[in-house]
Structure 1
Amino acid sequence: MGGGELEARILADSTLDSRDSVDSKDSKYLADSTDSTLKFEKSKSRRDSAISTNSQDLVDSPNAHNFIDSTDSTNAIDSTLNPQDSYIVFLDSDDYLESFALEHIYKIVSKNKVDFVACSSYNCHNESIPNATKSKTTHINLPDIYINRPIKTLSILRDFPTFKPQNMAWLYTHNVEFLRSHNLRFTPKVYHEDDLFGRYAFALSSRIFITNTPLYNYRINRPNSIMNTHSLTRKKHSLNSYFLIINRFLDLADLLKCVNCKSDEICNECDLRKGFLIYSAREFIIYFLKLLQTIGYKNDLEFSKNDIKKLLPYMESRRRFCVYFPRIYGFPKMLKMKFKKINNNHS
């Protein structure tokens, strides 16, 4: 694409609500109803950029995605960016980007060769509240020295061993070659696939850039959203997803080795990355057990009690009783919640 235009083509698995995503007089929308495609063209961009969408070989997921391909290597600002470098933005079909997001990301990757760009905050829309304005939510709590500059991932893992980012796929812009070199893909047909994908990408990354400009807009409590469904079927799917993610984190941690690792031990760098993945697995074990105590073991779940026993070494001792008797473990809390609800109704 020539003419100095910046184009973003967003493929979504459902129709996107773009009511606030563009407010520029130079912007226009072309909606394609046949493939639920939204095409945004912003004219008068200062650089040539091409954004394509033919990347189904990269991700096995219906999620939307954008490529940012830098093709102008003549400008001085692009001196550190290889013309073959491409960056991908993952977009959930419920959400949307700010109108300036792609241009903002382009300026960063034009000056900094990084594995991904992360947003330290995002905008949140609670659609259960009529006429509610969007609120800013902090996603990465790190000192200012880590923000708005390229930083080594290992320095974060070394200084903050319990670093716990959220929504890492949606809020991050990944270098495509980095993803391909590590064969990073979304796991299909599971919930929270963004956490598994994003955290593993973070563990493998070397150099990142964290911007404090919120670019992503989350829409929560959206009517008919699957995340608002509390059916037994959805809970069982969530349990199966948690179980898969926990084991995938642990498997990846076991396999993590680089050229500097010896045959019988791993190097300090890989030890930090491994620790991050194990910490992520422990976090999801808590989510898993909280949900397990609400429904207990079912015949059609994709795991058994014996499978969960293998995770005991990664659990706090006070939570292990839940593995053997999940419904009994959760009964006192259930009573407490019911009494609290009754008291609130009478007050």
Structure 2
Amino acid sequence: MNKPSISFIIPYYKVELPLLARAITSILRLGQKADWEVWVINDGTPGHEAEDYLGSLDDPRIHYHVQPNLGLGGARNTGMEMAQKEYIQFLDADDFLFQKAFSQILDVLGEKHPDLLSFEFKKVYHTGLWDTNVPAWQTVFQGSGTDFMLKHNLHGCAWGYVFKKSVLDGLRFTSGIYHEDEEFTPLLFLKARHVIITNLPAYAYFQRQYSIIHHPDRKIIKKRYSDLQHIILCLTDKGRQMEGNAAIALNRRIDMLRMSMVYTLLGDSPDTAFLLETLGNMKRTGLYPLTPRFYSFPYTIVRWCTFKPSCAVVLSNMFRLFQLRHAGHAS
């Protein structure tokens, strides 16, 4: 079994130093399981705190690069350009890797040499570093990325898998938008001929109260849904240029993204006016109502329950009422 070669790319933007140190430490704890390097991409964070910390480690495998703020996608693009190893793994600066599980990931990379290996994650809520119980390895799927997408849903997050740099073939993130992973991930899967999906939880996903996904600001919510709609339309254009199973697989993913967009909109909308405006924008571009397909039971339920805007309004009001009650119980 060969030792895998892997570049860890950590975009860094105004994250507390102890969290960045936690992410780095989780990589250092992997020891000699892989031939690895780290690229910390400072995406416009002022000061020298991170640079001083990384310099104090005195490890030639850890690299630090400073650039103007280009957003998460732009920072990852820079990291991919600089990566020198066979595989790439994204790691957000406030997250970390579970040592035992990721060590098994590295073993499978060295043995099977897949183009892409996808794994599970666990949400974490405090700033400590610890390991987690590792279940028995289970290969949920093995085959091409296209075949996987024909029948299964994707975890869109780009940190949820490790992949060969050679598979990219020019693929990059769109800079300056939210939800950039939702465009990048399906296109990468379609390029991967040998994909392994496992149930192993190898990634610790730190939950922030005011992350972009959970931020209550109306302008941020509006940009999120505008960007997501733009991504779906871009994927739709790319799907028209494809043929055969690749086109079918991407169209399935597009429909699932539309369903996810409508469903999350019910809970994220700050008021009825916002909900109706966003649904109206989706309708004008052909994204709403949802396509009458039978991908899964949840898809069918969401499609029927939101077929008319009036039904979506009722559901959204119920969501907001539940959130208010939950907040009241929590206080």
Category of TM-score, reference length = shorter chain: 0.5 to 0.7
Give distance in 1, aligned partners of 2:272 and 2:26.
Answer: 40
- Check conservation: 1:6, 1:50, Cα contact below 8 A: no
CA RMSD of aligned residues (A): 5.0
Specify the structure having the higher radius of gyration (Cα).
Answer: 1
One-letter amino acid of the counterpart of residue 242, structure 1? L
Give yes or no for the alignment of 1:333 onto 2:318. yes
Residue 94 (structure 1) aligns with: 94
Shift of 1:172: 0.9
SS, match of residue 146 in structure 1: strand
One-letter amino acid of the counterpart of residue 254, structure 1? R
- Check conservation: 1:200, 1:277, Cα contact below 8 A: no
- Cα 1:123–1:338 shift into 2, 3 Å: closer
- Cα 1:242–1:155 shift into 2, 3 Å: closer
One-letter amino acid of the counterpart of residue 231, structure 1? D
Gaps of 5+ in 2: 33-37, 293-302
Shift of 1:242: 2.4
Residue 209 (structure 1) aligns with: 196
In the TM superposition, what are the counterparts of 1:31-180 in structure 2 within 5 Å? 34=48, 36-37=50-51, 39=54, 60-63=73-76, 65=79, 69=84, 86-99=86-99, 106-119=106-119, 121-127=120-126, 144-146=138-140, 151-158=143-150, 161=151, 163-179=152-168
Residue 12 (structure 1) aligns with: 12
Give yes or no for the alignment of 1:235 onto 2:249. no
- Check conservation: 1:14, 1:36, Cα contact below 8 A: no
Give distance in 2, aligned partners of 1:277 and 1:175.
Answer: 22
Shift of 1:255: 2.2
Give yes or no for the alignment of 1:296 onto 2:273. yes
Give distance in 1, aligned partners of 2:28 and 2:63.
Answer: 23
Give distance in 2, aligned partners of 1:227 and 1:337.
Answer: 19
One-letter amino acid of the counterpart of residue 95, structure 2? D
Give distance in 2, aligned partners of 1:233 and 1:339.
Answer: 21
One-letter amino acid of the counterpart of residue 238, structure 2? L
Give distance in 1, aligned partners of 2:124 and 2:31.
Answer: 26
Residue 196 (structure 1) aligns with: 183
Shift of 1:341: 6.0
Shift of 1:21: 2.3
- Check conservation: 1:88, 1:173, Cα contact below 8 A: yes
- Check conservation: 1:312, 1:320, Cα contact below 8 A: yes
- Cα 1:137–1:312 shift into 2, 3 Å: farther
TM-score by length of 2: 0.64
Give distance in 1, aligned partners of 2:205 and 2:235.
Answer: 26
TM-score by length of 1: 0.62
Residue 78 (structure 1) aligns with: none
Give yes or no for the alignment of 1:21 onto 2:26. yes
Q: Number of aligned residue pairs: give it.
A: 291
**Bigger relative CO (Cα 8 Å, ≥ 6 apart):** 2
SS, match of residue 214 in structure 1: strand
- Cα 1:176–1:335 shift into 2, 3 Å: closer
SS, match of residue 195 in structure 2: strand
SS, match of residue 162 in structure 2: strand
Give distance in 2, aligned partners of 1:281 and 1:295.
Answer: 22
Gaps of 5+ in 1: 44-48, 71-85, 258-266
Identity %: 17
Residue 253 (structure 1) aligns with: 239
From the two aligned structures, give the one with the greater helix fraction. Answer: 2
- Check conservation: 2:118, 2:198, Cα contact below 8 A: yes
- Cα 1:35–1:272 shift into 2, 3 Å: farther
Give distance in 2, aligned partners of 1:144 and 1:25.
Answer: 21
1:78-128 deviations in Å (ceiling 9; x for gaps): xxxxxxxx2211122321224578765554334334321211x2232123x
1:249-279 deviations in Å (ceiling 9; x for gaps): 322322223xxxxxxxxx3x32542343233
- Cα 1:100–1:242 shift into 2, 3 Å: same
Give yes or no for the alignment of 1:218 onto 2:231. no
- Cα 1:9–1:170 shift into 2, 3 Å: closer
